[in-house]
Homo-oligomer: A and B are copies of this chain.
Amino acid sequence: MSLEEEILKRIKPTPEEEKEIMDVAEDLVERSLSIISEMGIDAEPIIVGSVAKGTFLKNPDIDIFIRFPPETPREEMERLGIEIGRAIIPDGRENYAEHPYIHGVYRGFEVDIVPCYRIEDGSKKMSAVDRTPFHTEYIKSHISEEQKDEVRLLKRFMKGIGVYGAEAEIEGFSGYLTELLIIYYGSFMDVLRASQRWKRGTRLSLEEDKGNRFDDSLIFIDPVDPKRNVASALSVDSFALFIYAAHEYLSKADERFFFPKKREAASYEEIRAEIERKGTEIIGFEIDRPDLVHDVLFPQIKKAKRTVAQRLNDAGFTVLSSTYKAYDDKITFIYELEVHTLPSVKKHYGPPVWHPNSENFLKKWKNIHKRIEMGRWVVQIPREDRDALSYLKRTIPDANLGKDLTEIAKKSFRVLSRKDIIHEHAMLITEMLFPLFPWQI
């Protein structure tokens, strides 16, 4: 039995499991239909997603969409959709993507019940949610039975190396993209091999490509809407990581690509020794975690991480590497610095000597030795913060960290010293100091 066959055995639902999944899905459709009929409204439930397409792994989410006629007012559609969802899963939670929807557990499965519009074809202007049924339809009508297993392998491989999912936290490959790749190239191994010829901007299409411009790492023209790139959420790092993982897998296949080992944190002594050896410094900070959905929160965290790195660099505290982690209750940012202590003075440029502002400049720095460089005033003025931790402490609580993080940082910001970090974030610092790709653990 090949490794891929072995993996497939572990990830593919057994016929009994599959029967149960389909049974639950149909049960959900029937319950929806009877509730719709009781309510006397015009709406239609359909199964979408991997369960509808037959590409699901064990314990899949089951996605039921309730389609409303396009003339339904948006508010009414949302209200009725939620009402139907609540009737089926009374203890479900109302989530929000492009519409509100109900998420909960039904007969042991995670279920989403999502209202949307019924629209004539996939290229009409609509939300991503409204487009989903067209994607489901396209895959169902283009994928072969054998390819469904190939999709399963590719999904599990991507999960294993950490690039599965289009959400902001991952910025990876969506399920739909995975299915299209299998249809395009034929099999799991074919996708891996093909990826060795990919480069930034590689462009693929199963249907007509109308040549719309996309500035993404990978472009896969949506077969139901040529104006859309299915891979638009894929970051260049996820793109690159997939190519590298495929390269490594092709040279030496291993189950750890699908099922990476769990990493163990390095010991306090190992971490301390590595920092000593490198002669770097580790600092960081934490803020409370705001109550935001992932797709709103993670872009802000990533941006804040970059903003702070840029500020440290600009202040002369050179950043060697950085990382973050969103815990349930807080977000932690960590920076490894090449330079963490600086002189008590810094170089400060003034206006050209002949400029009218010279007068003010000279008044302002009256008691400081002046130099002229390239015609401009130069002074060495006192530096506000000689070490990076003081710099963070003084400047970050008032910094612009993005829409929602700025306010919460004002209230909850706290710095983390090297010691704090080693003691409280051993795993995070282990990953930063000894980076390994998932299959290398």
Contacts and interface: CB of A to CB of B under 8 A. Distances in A.
Contacts of A237: 372-375
22 contacts: A199-B352, A199-B355, A200-B352, A237-B372, A239-B375, A240-B354, A240-B375, A243-B353, A243-B354, A244-B358, A278-B343, A278-B344, A279-B344, A279-B386, A280-B345, A320-B343, A320-B347, A321-B347, A321-B380, A338-B342, A338-B346, A370-B435
A229 B236 CA distance: 54
B321 A352 contact: no
Contacts of A239: 354, 375
A10 interface: no
A347 B309 CA distance: 15
A125 interface: no
A198 interface: yes
A198 B355 CA distance: 9
A316 interface: yes
Contact of A279 (B343, B355, B370): B343
Interface in A4-37: none
Contacts of A437: 370
B277 A344 contact: yes
A277 B343 CA distance: 8
Nearest to A217: B375
A34 to B, nearest CB: 51
Contacts of A206: none
Given A279-B344, A279-B386, A369-B436, 4 more contacts: A200-B354, A200-B375, A239-B375, A277-B344
Contacts of A277: 344
B372 A244 contact: yes
Given A344-B277, A344-B279, A386-B279, A321 B371 contact: yes
B316 A338 contact: yes
Interface of A: 198-200, 217, 236-237, 239-241, 243-244, 277-280, 316, 318, 320-321, 338-339, 341-347, 352-355, 358, 369-376, 380, 386, 434-437
The complex is assembled from copies of this chain, and their number is: 2
A352 B310 CA distance: 22
Nearest to A235: B375
A369 B320 contact: no
A135 B347 CA distance: 43
A236 B375 contact: yes
A41 to B, nearest CB: 49
A369 to B, nearest CB: 5
Nearest to A202: B354
Contacts of A434: 369
A319 to B, nearest CB: 9
A87 B311 CA distance: 71
B316 A318 contact: yes
Contacts of A374: 236-237
Nearest to A197: B354
A346 B321 CA distance: 11
Contacts of A217: 375
A275 to B, nearest CB: 10
Counting from the closest, the 4 A-B pairs by CB-CB distance are A240-B353, A236-B375, A279-B343, A240-B375
A343 B276 CA distance: 9
A286 B200 CA distance: 49
A52 to B, nearest CB: 34
A358 B243 CA distance: 11
A305 B37 CA distance: 86
Contacts of A353: 240-241, 243-244
Contacts of A352: 199-200, 240
Nearest to A355: B199
A278 B370 CA distance: 16
A277 B240 CA distance: 48
A265 to B, nearest CB: 16
A334 B348 CA distance: 20
A338 B244 CA distance: 40
B343 A380 contact: no
Nearest to A341: B279
A339 B386 CA distance: 12
A191 to B, nearest CB: 15
